[in-house]
Amino acid sequence: MTLRFQADADFNHKIVSALRRREPAIDFLDAHQGGVIGVSDYEVLRIAADLGRLVVSHDRRTMPAHLVRFVRTRSSAGLIIVQQGLDIGAAVEDLLLICALTDAAEWYNQIGYVPI
Protein backbone atom coordinates (compact mmCIF):
# COMPACT_ATOMS: atom_id res chain seq x y z
CA MET A 1 0.00 0.00 0.00
CA THR A 2 1.23 3.50 -0.86
CA LEU A 3 2.42 5.77 1.92
CA ARG A 4 0.29 8.77 2.80
CA PHE A 5 1.70 11.53 4.99
CA GLN A 6 0.43 14.16 7.43
CA ALA A 7 2.80 16.95 8.47
CA ASP A 8 2.70 18.02 12.10
CA ALA A 9 2.26 21.75 12.74
CA ASP A 10 5.98 22.09 13.52
CA PHE A 11 7.11 20.46 10.26
CA ASN A 12 9.10 22.66 7.86
CA HIS A 13 6.75 23.53 5.00
CA LYS A 14 9.76 24.01 2.69
CA ILE A 15 10.35 20.25 2.90
CA VAL A 16 6.73 19.54 1.98
CA SER A 17 6.94 21.95 -0.97
CA ALA A 18 10.23 20.47 -2.18
CA LEU A 19 8.82 16.93 -1.94
CA ARG A 20 5.78 17.92 -3.98
CA ARG A 21 7.96 19.56 -6.65
CA ARG A 22 10.26 16.56 -6.81
CA GLU A 23 7.49 13.94 -6.75
CA PRO A 24 4.11 15.44 -7.71
CA ALA A 25 2.30 12.15 -7.02
CA ILE A 26 3.28 12.12 -3.34
CA ASP A 27 0.30 12.21 -0.97
CA PHE A 28 1.55 14.63 1.68
CA LEU A 29 -0.84 16.92 3.55
CA ASP A 30 0.70 19.95 5.18
CA ALA A 31 -0.47 21.00 8.63
CA HIS A 32 -3.02 23.45 7.25
CA GLN A 33 -4.57 20.96 4.81
CA GLY A 34 -4.71 18.30 7.50
CA GLY A 35 -6.30 20.57 10.08
CA VAL A 36 -3.64 19.97 12.71
CA ILE A 37 -2.55 23.52 13.48
CA GLY A 38 -3.12 24.35 17.14
CA VAL A 39 -4.14 20.85 18.22
CA SER A 40 -2.45 18.57 20.75
CA ASP A 41 0.03 15.87 19.73
CA TYR A 42 -2.55 13.23 20.64
CA GLU A 43 -5.11 14.90 18.39
CA VAL A 44 -2.59 15.06 15.52
CA LEU A 45 -2.02 11.32 15.93
CA ARG A 46 -5.78 10.68 16.06
CA ILE A 47 -6.52 12.72 12.95
CA ALA A 48 -3.72 11.03 11.02
CA ALA A 49 -4.74 7.56 12.24
CA ASP A 50 -8.34 8.14 11.18
CA LEU A 51 -7.06 8.99 7.68
CA GLY A 52 -4.42 6.26 7.53
CA ARG A 53 -1.57 8.77 7.33
CA LEU A 54 1.96 8.66 8.72
CA VAL A 55 2.71 11.70 10.86
CA VAL A 56 5.91 13.52 9.92
CA SER A 57 7.29 15.81 12.61
CA HIS A 58 10.42 17.51 13.93
CA ASP A 59 9.21 16.98 17.52
CA ARG A 60 11.71 14.43 18.78
CA ARG A 61 11.17 15.51 22.40
CA THR A 62 7.49 14.62 22.92
CA MET A 63 5.92 13.06 19.83
CA PRO A 64 7.52 9.57 20.16
CA ALA A 65 6.23 9.22 23.73
CA HIS A 66 2.78 10.36 22.62
CA LEU A 67 2.78 7.70 19.90
CA VAL A 68 3.73 4.98 22.40
CA ARG A 69 0.79 5.98 24.60
CA PHE A 70 -1.52 6.37 21.59
CA VAL A 71 -0.93 2.85 20.27
CA ARG A 72 -1.91 1.33 23.61
CA THR A 73 -5.52 2.03 22.71
CA ARG A 74 -5.52 2.85 18.97
CA SER A 75 -3.67 1.92 15.83
CA SER A 76 -1.44 4.37 14.02
CA ALA A 77 -0.11 4.52 10.47
CA GLY A 78 3.20 5.46 12.10
CA LEU A 79 5.49 8.39 12.83
CA ILE A 80 8.60 9.73 11.13
CA ILE A 81 10.78 12.17 13.05
CA VAL A 82 12.89 14.38 10.78
CA GLN A 83 15.90 15.93 12.49
CA GLN A 84 15.32 19.65 13.03
CA GLY A 85 17.76 21.66 10.94
CA LEU A 86 18.51 18.82 8.53
CA ASP A 87 19.28 20.15 5.05
CA ILE A 88 16.04 20.31 3.04
CA GLY A 89 17.56 18.34 0.17
CA ALA A 90 18.73 15.57 2.51
CA ALA A 91 15.30 15.38 4.17
CA VAL A 92 13.60 15.17 0.76
CA GLU A 93 15.97 12.43 -0.44
CA ASP A 94 15.44 10.31 2.69
CA LEU A 95 11.66 10.71 2.60
CA LEU A 96 11.62 9.75 -1.09
CA LEU A 97 13.76 6.71 -0.27
CA ILE A 98 11.27 5.71 2.41
CA CYS A 99 8.48 6.05 -0.16
CA ALA A 100 10.34 3.95 -2.71
CA LEU A 101 11.51 1.17 -0.41
CA THR A 102 8.72 0.70 2.13
CA ASP A 103 4.98 0.41 2.18
CA ALA A 104 2.31 1.49 4.62
CA ALA A 105 2.05 -1.89 6.36
CA GLU A 106 5.70 -1.66 7.48
CA TRP A 107 5.01 1.58 9.38
CA TYR A 108 1.98 0.36 11.34
CA ASN A 109 2.52 1.58 14.95
CA GLN A 110 6.22 2.26 14.22
CA ILE A 111 8.56 5.22 14.61
CA GLY A 112 11.28 6.05 12.08
CA TYR A 113 13.95 8.71 12.03
CA VAL A 114 15.44 10.87 9.27
CA PRO A 115 18.28 11.00 8.46
CA ILE A 116 18.11 7.29 7.87
Q: What is the reported pTM?
A: 0.96
Spatial neighbors of 15 by CB under 8 A, at least 6 apart, are 82, 88, 91, 92, 95
Evaluate if residue 53 carries a pLDDT over 90: yes
Q: So where are the chain's domains?
A: 4-114
Kindly report the average pLDDT of the chain as a whole number. Answer: 97
Distance (Å, whole) CA 65 – CA 42? 10
The angle formed by the CA atoms of residues 50, 53 and 55, to the nearest 5 degrees, is 110
CB neighbourhood size of 112 (10 A): 17
**Percent of the chain residues past pLDDT 70, beyond the cut:** 99
Distance (Å, whole) CA 96 – CA 94? 5
Q: If you average pLDDT over residues 21-50, what whole number do you get?
A: 97
Evaluate if residue 105 carries a pLDDT over 80: yes
